[in-house]
Structure formats: structure tokens, C-alpha cells
């Protein structure tokens, strides 16, 4: 069965330091991978996605993510964190081999709260 794991409930980073939010996945076929961010009392905003091609994907607000097939990971990164990056981050996966009524559905991780201190 397809699944997504975000092993850290919370990540704390000092402003200006690099940040990493971890995500690992399990699928039957090739994965389509997504990162979303949720600011307090708001809906989710799309950050970036990996479908195929270059393993390093660049997205909104200076974020990037690296697809690693051998480690089944898709970690979110940013070279220099801002206080305004503090939010809840969700990784999601879509299994290209998952046929049937649920084909195309996104499976979300439980979320990682990022806290960036000045």
C-alpha cells in the first residue's frame, strides 16, 4: 500500500541557517511527489512537485526538494531559513501504479511543523 512518512513532528531552525524537512514514501510504481505548506488558519499552498526528470526540483519561496529513488525520499530544503517560513509542511505522494477508483489520489504525510527563530 502507498504511504508517506514525515519522521519529524517539529523542526527548529535559526534564521539564516539551512533547513531540511524530511519525507519518505512507499509506492508500488513510480511516485509523483508533492510538497505543500500551510500557514496558520489557512488552506494548503502548493510548493513544488516531482514528476520525472531532474532529481532536484525548485519551487516557490526559494524551496527545493531532492528526489532520491534508492532511499525513497523527497526531502524539502532551503539554503537560508526565514522567520516567515514558519508553518506546517506536508509531503504527499501519488502512486502511478495504483489503479482503480482511488487512482490519482494524493496520500499526505501527517505534517511537520517548522519553527524558525530570529
C-beta separation of 59 from 47 below 8 A: yes
- In this structure, are strands 24-26 and 87-95 parallel, antiparallel, or unpaired? unpaired
10-18, 69-77, 79-87, 93-101 -> range binding another protein (CB under 8 A): 93-101
70 counts as binding another protein under rule CB under 8 A: no
Tell me the C-alpha distance between 1 and 27, whole Å: 7
Number of residues engaging another protein in binding (CB under 8 A): 24
Tell me the C-alpha distance between 64 and 77, whole Å: 5
Among 90, 93, 114, 116, binds another protein (CB under 8 A): 90
Which residues make up the interface to another protein (CB under 8 A)? 32, 34, 36, 41-46, 49, 51, 90, 94, 96, 101-106, 108-111
Amino acid at each position: 500500500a502507498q504511504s508517506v512518512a514525515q519522521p519529524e513532528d517539529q523542526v527548529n531552525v535559526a534564521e539564516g541557517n539551512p533547513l531540511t524537512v524530511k519525507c519518505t514514501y512507499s509506492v508500488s510504481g513510480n511516485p509523483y511527489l508533492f510538497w505543500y505548506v500551510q500557514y496558520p488558519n489557512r488552506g494548503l499552498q502548493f510548493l513544488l512537485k516531482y514528476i520525472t526528470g531532474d532529481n532536484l526540483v525548485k519551487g516557490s519561496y526559494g524551496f527545493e526538494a531532492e528526489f532520491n529513488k534508492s532511499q525513497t525520499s523527497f526531502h524539502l530544503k532551503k539554503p537560508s531559513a526565514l522567520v516567515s517560513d514558519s508553518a506546517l509542511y506536508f509531503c504527499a505522494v501519488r502512486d502511478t501504479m495504483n489503479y482503480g477508483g482511488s487512482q490519482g489520489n494524493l496520500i499526505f504525510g501527517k505534517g511537520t511543523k517548522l519553527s524558525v527563530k530570529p
